[in-house]
Structure 1
Amino acid sequence: MTEHPDLPRLQRRLAEFAAARNWGPYHTPKNLASALSVEAAELVEIFQWLTPRESAQVMDDPATAHRVRDEVADVLAYLLQFCEVLGVDPLTALAEKIDRNERRFPRPGEGTDAG
Protein backbone atom coordinates (compact mmCIF):
# COMPACT_ATOMS: atom_id res chain seq x y z
CA MET A 1 0.00 0.00 0.00
CA THR A 2 1.19 3.53 -0.70
CA GLU A 3 1.84 6.13 1.97
CA HIS A 4 -1.15 7.66 3.71
CA PRO A 5 -2.42 10.39 1.35
CA ASP A 6 -3.29 13.87 2.50
CA LEU A 7 -6.43 15.76 1.58
CA PRO A 8 -4.87 18.38 -0.74
CA ARG A 9 -3.03 15.65 -2.66
CA LEU A 10 -6.23 13.66 -3.10
CA GLN A 11 -8.13 16.73 -4.28
CA ARG A 12 -5.34 17.48 -6.76
CA ARG A 13 -5.42 13.89 -8.08
CA LEU A 14 -9.19 14.03 -8.50
CA ALA A 15 -8.96 17.37 -10.33
CA GLU A 16 -6.21 16.06 -12.61
CA PHE A 17 -8.16 12.86 -13.29
CA ALA A 18 -11.27 14.82 -14.29
CA ALA A 19 -9.29 17.38 -16.33
CA ALA A 20 -7.50 14.63 -18.30
CA ARG A 21 -10.90 13.30 -19.35
CA ASN A 22 -12.42 16.73 -20.07
CA TRP A 23 -15.09 16.23 -17.41
CA GLY A 24 -14.89 19.83 -16.18
CA PRO A 25 -18.06 20.99 -17.97
CA TYR A 26 -20.01 18.24 -16.18
CA HIS A 27 -18.56 18.93 -12.74
CA THR A 28 -20.97 21.68 -11.80
CA PRO A 29 -22.04 22.05 -8.18
CA LYS A 30 -25.51 20.72 -9.08
CA ASN A 31 -24.16 17.65 -10.87
CA LEU A 32 -21.60 16.89 -8.17
CA ALA A 33 -24.22 17.25 -5.42
CA SER A 34 -26.48 14.88 -7.35
CA ALA A 35 -23.68 12.37 -7.85
CA LEU A 36 -22.79 12.61 -4.16
CA SER A 37 -26.40 11.83 -3.27
CA VAL A 38 -26.46 8.81 -5.58
CA GLU A 39 -23.24 7.43 -4.13
CA ALA A 40 -24.49 7.96 -0.57
CA ALA A 41 -27.64 6.05 -1.51
CA GLU A 42 -25.50 3.21 -2.85
CA LEU A 43 -23.78 3.07 0.55
CA VAL A 44 -27.15 3.00 2.30
CA GLU A 45 -28.29 0.21 -0.02
CA ILE A 46 -25.64 -2.12 1.41
CA PHE A 47 -27.18 -1.73 4.88
CA GLN A 48 -30.83 -1.43 3.82
CA TRP A 49 -32.22 -4.71 5.14
CA LEU A 50 -29.61 -5.56 7.76
CA THR A 51 -30.36 -5.74 11.44
CA PRO A 52 -28.37 -3.42 13.71
CA ARG A 53 -26.19 -6.40 14.69
CA GLU A 54 -25.61 -7.42 11.06
CA SER A 55 -24.76 -3.84 10.11
CA ALA A 56 -22.14 -3.68 12.88
CA GLN A 57 -20.50 -6.81 11.46
CA VAL A 58 -20.60 -5.82 7.79
CA MET A 59 -16.82 -5.48 7.54
CA ASP A 60 -16.36 -9.11 8.58
CA ASP A 61 -17.36 -10.29 5.10
CA PRO A 62 -14.57 -9.46 2.62
CA ALA A 63 -16.89 -8.98 -0.36
CA THR A 64 -19.23 -6.68 1.54
CA ALA A 65 -16.32 -4.84 3.14
CA HIS A 66 -14.94 -4.18 -0.35
CA ARG A 67 -18.29 -2.74 -1.45
CA VAL A 68 -18.44 -0.51 1.64
CA ARG A 69 -14.92 0.81 1.05
CA ASP A 70 -15.70 1.48 -2.62
CA GLU A 71 -18.87 3.41 -1.81
CA VAL A 72 -17.13 5.37 0.94
CA ALA A 73 -14.45 6.27 -1.60
CA ASP A 74 -17.08 7.34 -4.15
CA VAL A 75 -18.89 9.51 -1.58
CA LEU A 76 -15.65 11.14 -0.47
CA ALA A 77 -14.45 11.65 -4.04
CA TYR A 78 -17.62 13.50 -5.04
CA LEU A 79 -17.63 15.51 -1.81
CA LEU A 80 -14.02 16.59 -2.37
CA GLN A 81 -14.73 17.51 -5.99
CA PHE A 82 -17.82 19.44 -4.90
CA CYS A 83 -15.72 21.34 -2.34
CA GLU A 84 -13.02 22.03 -4.92
CA VAL A 85 -15.51 23.52 -7.41
CA LEU A 86 -17.08 25.78 -4.77
CA GLY A 87 -13.87 26.68 -2.94
CA VAL A 88 -14.94 25.08 0.33
CA ASP A 89 -12.22 23.78 2.64
CA PRO A 90 -13.91 20.62 3.97
CA LEU A 91 -11.72 20.34 7.07
CA THR A 92 -12.34 23.97 8.04
CA ALA A 93 -16.07 23.54 7.39
CA LEU A 94 -16.11 20.46 9.62
CA ALA A 95 -14.12 22.13 12.41
CA GLU A 96 -16.46 25.13 12.37
CA LYS A 97 -19.52 22.88 12.42
CA ILE A 98 -18.16 20.91 15.39
CA ASP A 99 -17.52 24.21 17.21
CA ARG A 100 -21.13 25.28 16.60
CA ASN A 101 -22.49 21.89 17.65
CA GLU A 102 -20.46 21.94 20.87
CA ARG A 103 -22.08 25.26 21.75
CA ARG A 104 -25.51 24.17 20.56
CA PHE A 105 -25.47 20.78 22.27
CA PRO A 106 -23.52 21.15 25.51
CA ARG A 107 -22.50 18.13 27.55
CA PRO A 108 -25.03 17.06 30.16
CA GLY A 109 -24.75 19.35 33.16
CA GLU A 110 -23.25 22.25 31.19
CA GLY A 111 -25.21 25.39 30.34
CA THR A 112 -25.83 26.50 26.80
CA ASP A 113 -24.58 29.79 25.38
CA ALA A 114 -26.10 29.23 21.93
CA GLY A 115 -29.37 30.68 20.85
Structure 2
Amino acid sequence: MTEDEGPGDGVPDVARLQRRLAEFAAARHWEPYHTPKNLAVALSVEASELVEIFQWLTPEQSARVMEEESTAHRVRDEVADVLAYLLQFCEVLGIDALTALSEKIDRNELRFPAK
Protein backbone atom coordinates (compact mmCIF):
# COMPACT_ATOMS: atom_id res chain seq x y z
CA MET A 1 0.00 0.00 0.00
CA THR A 2 1.38 3.43 -0.95
CA GLU A 3 0.97 6.41 1.33
CA ASP A 4 -1.95 7.62 -0.83
CA GLU A 5 -3.97 4.42 -0.65
CA GLY A 6 -6.86 3.78 1.66
CA PRO A 7 -6.71 0.83 4.02
CA GLY A 8 -7.09 -2.54 2.34
CA ASP A 9 -8.28 -1.45 -1.09
CA GLY A 10 -5.24 -0.19 -3.01
CA VAL A 11 -7.25 2.81 -4.22
CA PRO A 12 -5.76 6.29 -3.70
CA ASP A 13 -7.48 8.27 -0.97
CA VAL A 14 -8.54 11.80 -1.98
CA ALA A 15 -7.94 13.30 1.47
CA ARG A 16 -4.42 11.86 1.61
CA LEU A 17 -3.65 13.18 -1.87
CA GLN A 18 -4.92 16.63 -0.84
CA ARG A 19 -2.73 16.49 2.25
CA ARG A 20 0.32 15.56 0.13
CA LEU A 21 -0.39 18.44 -2.24
CA ALA A 22 -0.71 20.85 0.70
CA GLU A 23 2.53 19.57 2.22
CA PHE A 24 4.29 19.87 -1.15
CA ALA A 25 3.17 23.50 -1.50
CA ALA A 26 4.02 24.32 2.13
CA ALA A 27 7.53 22.92 1.81
CA ARG A 28 8.11 25.33 -1.08
CA HIS A 29 6.34 28.26 0.60
CA TRP A 30 3.76 28.44 -2.20
CA GLU A 31 0.69 28.94 0.02
CA PRO A 32 0.53 32.73 -0.59
CA TYR A 33 0.12 32.00 -4.30
CA HIS A 34 -2.52 29.32 -3.86
CA THR A 35 -5.48 31.67 -3.77
CA PRO A 36 -8.82 30.56 -5.21
CA LYS A 37 -8.29 32.86 -8.20
CA ASN A 38 -4.77 31.62 -8.94
CA LEU A 39 -5.77 27.98 -8.55
CA ALA A 40 -8.81 28.44 -10.82
CA VAL A 41 -6.56 30.04 -13.45
CA ALA A 42 -3.99 27.26 -13.14
CA LEU A 43 -6.77 24.67 -13.42
CA SER A 44 -7.97 26.32 -16.62
CA VAL A 45 -4.45 26.36 -18.08
CA GLU A 46 -3.92 22.68 -17.32
CA ALA A 47 -7.33 21.78 -18.78
CA SER A 48 -6.32 23.69 -21.91
CA GLU A 49 -3.10 21.68 -22.11
CA LEU A 50 -5.21 18.51 -22.02
CA VAL A 51 -7.46 19.89 -24.78
CA GLU A 52 -4.38 20.75 -26.85
CA ILE A 53 -3.47 17.06 -27.13
CA PHE A 54 -6.83 16.40 -28.83
CA GLN A 55 -7.10 19.65 -30.79
CA TRP A 56 -6.58 18.36 -34.32
CA LEU A 57 -7.47 14.70 -33.86
CA THR A 58 -10.46 13.13 -35.54
CA PRO A 59 -13.01 11.51 -33.22
CA GLU A 60 -11.57 8.13 -34.19
CA GLN A 61 -7.99 9.21 -33.44
CA SER A 62 -9.05 10.69 -30.10
CA ALA A 63 -10.65 7.37 -29.11
CA ARG A 64 -7.27 5.66 -29.67
CA VAL A 65 -5.12 8.30 -27.95
CA MET A 66 -4.02 5.94 -25.17
CA GLU A 67 -2.64 3.35 -27.62
CA GLU A 68 0.63 5.23 -28.21
CA GLU A 69 2.66 5.38 -24.99
CA SER A 70 4.16 8.83 -25.57
CA THR A 71 0.72 10.34 -26.09
CA ALA A 72 -0.81 8.27 -23.29
CA HIS A 73 1.90 9.58 -20.95
CA ARG A 74 1.06 13.21 -21.89
CA VAL A 75 -2.66 12.58 -21.32
CA ARG A 76 -2.03 11.00 -17.90
CA ASP A 77 0.25 13.89 -16.90
CA GLU A 78 -2.29 16.53 -17.91
CA VAL A 79 -5.11 14.66 -16.15
CA ALA A 80 -2.93 14.56 -13.03
CA ASP A 81 -2.23 18.30 -13.30
CA VAL A 82 -5.94 19.10 -13.70
CA LEU A 83 -6.87 16.91 -10.75
CA ALA A 84 -4.08 18.33 -8.59
CA TYR A 85 -5.20 21.92 -9.14
CA LEU A 86 -8.86 20.97 -8.66
CA LEU A 87 -8.06 19.25 -5.35
CA GLN A 88 -5.97 22.21 -4.20
CA PHE A 89 -8.78 24.59 -5.19
CA CYS A 90 -11.27 22.51 -3.19
CA GLU A 91 -8.93 22.36 -0.20
CA VAL A 92 -8.51 26.16 -0.12
CA LEU A 93 -12.27 26.76 -0.32
CA GLY A 94 -13.29 23.89 1.98
CA ILE A 95 -15.17 21.99 -0.73
CA ASP A 96 -15.48 18.22 -0.46
CA ALA A 97 -15.11 17.35 -4.16
CA LEU A 98 -16.75 13.93 -3.88
CA THR A 99 -19.75 15.30 -1.98
CA ALA A 100 -20.09 18.15 -4.50
CA LEU A 101 -20.03 15.64 -7.35
CA SER A 102 -22.56 13.35 -5.68
CA GLU A 103 -24.93 16.26 -5.06
CA LYS A 104 -24.55 17.43 -8.67
CA ILE A 105 -25.35 13.95 -9.98
CA ASP A 106 -28.46 13.92 -7.75
CA ARG A 107 -29.60 17.25 -9.23
CA ASN A 108 -28.87 16.08 -12.77
CA GLU A 109 -30.87 12.89 -12.26
CA LEU A 110 -33.87 15.04 -11.34
CA ARG A 111 -33.22 17.53 -14.13
CA PHE A 112 -32.64 14.90 -16.83
CA PRO A 113 -34.70 11.82 -15.91
CA ALA A 114 -34.04 8.59 -17.82
CA LYS A 115 -36.81 7.64 -20.21
Note whether the superposition's TM-score is higher than 0.5. Answer: yes
Structure 1 gaps of 5+ residues are: 109-115
User: In the alignment, which residue of structure 2 is the partner of 1:51?
Assistant: 58
Structure 1 moving runs of 4+ over 2 Å: 1-4
- Could you tell me which amino acid in structure 1 is paired with residue 109 of structure 2? E
Matched residues in 2 for 1:70 and 1:30: separation? 23
- Could you tell me which amino acid in structure 1 is paired with residue 99 of structure 2? T
| Superposition map of 1:1-115 within 5 A | 2=2, 3-108=10-115
Residue identity over aligned pairs, in percent, reads 81
Report the alpha carbon displacement of residue 4 of structure 1 after superposing the two structures with TM: 3.1
Larger C-alpha radius of gyration, 1 or 2? Answer: 1
Report the alpha carbon displacement of residue 26 of structure 1 after superposing the two structures with TM: 0.1
Structure 2 gaps of 5+ residues are: 3-9
Matched residues in 1 for 2:14 and 2:40: separation? 19
- Could you tell me which amino acid in structure 2 is paired with residue 53 of structure 1? E
Matched residue SS, 1:79? helix
TM-score normalised by structure 2 residue count: 0.91
Root mean square deviation of aligned Cα: 1.1
Matched residues in 1 for 2:28 and 2:63: separation? 38
Number of aligned residue pairs: give it: 108
